[in-house]
Amino acid sequence: MLKKTKKDLVHDTDNQTGFEEEDQQPEVIYHEHSHRKSVFFGTILAVVLAIGLSMMSGSYTSEGSAEEVVANRISKSTLAGETPFTDETNAGITAKDFEVTVGDSGGDAKMLIWDFNSEDNDEVQILVNGQPLKEKLILANNPAAISIPVPSTVTVKGLKDQGGGISYAVKFPNDKVTYYNVVGMNAGNTYTVRPL
Partner 1 sequence: MKKIIKFVWALFFYIFLFPVTILVIVFGPLMTFTDLLDVYKLGAPRLGMGLGVIAFLGFILFLSMKYHSLSWIYRKFPVLLPFFQMCFVSFIVMDLSLTFANLWADRMIIGKTAAIGLSVLTILVGRAFLSYWYYKYPISYKMVR
Q: By the criterion CB under 8 A, which residues form the site for partner 1?
A: 19, 21-22, 25-32, 34-36, 38-40, 42-47, 49-50, 53-54, 57, 79-82, 110, 112, 142-145, 147, 171, 173-174, 176
What SS3 state is found at 190? strand
Closest distance of CB 46 from partner 1, Å: 4
* CA distance to 14, 54, 165, 176, 184, per residue, from 162 (Å): 63, 34, 7, 29, 11
Alpha-carbon separation of residue 93 from 67, 68, 82, 182 (angstroms): 10, 11, 18, 7
The span from the CA of 141 to the CA of 162, in Å, is 15
Q: Which is nearer to partner 1, 161 or 177 (CB)?
A: 177
Q: Which is nearer to partner 1, 42 or 94 (CB)?
A: 42
Decide the pairing of beta strands 188-195 and 152-160. antiparallel
Cβ-based neighbours of 90, under 8 Å, separated by 6 or more: 70, 116, 117, 164, 165, 167, 180, 182
Nearer Cβ to partner 1, position 53 or 187? 53
* Nearer of residues 49 and 187 to partner 1, judged by Cβ: 49
CB of 99 to partner 1, least distance (A): 20
Q: Nearest approach, Cβ of 53 to partner 1 (angstroms)?
A: 6
Q: Shortest Cβ distance from residue 133 to partner 1 (Å)? A: 15
* Distance of closest approach, residue 189 Cβ to partner 1, in angstroms: 20
Question: Rounded to an integer, what distance in angstroms lies between the CA atom of residue 145 and that of residue 172?
Answer: 10
By beta-carbon proximity to partner 1, the closer residue of 86 and 186 is 86
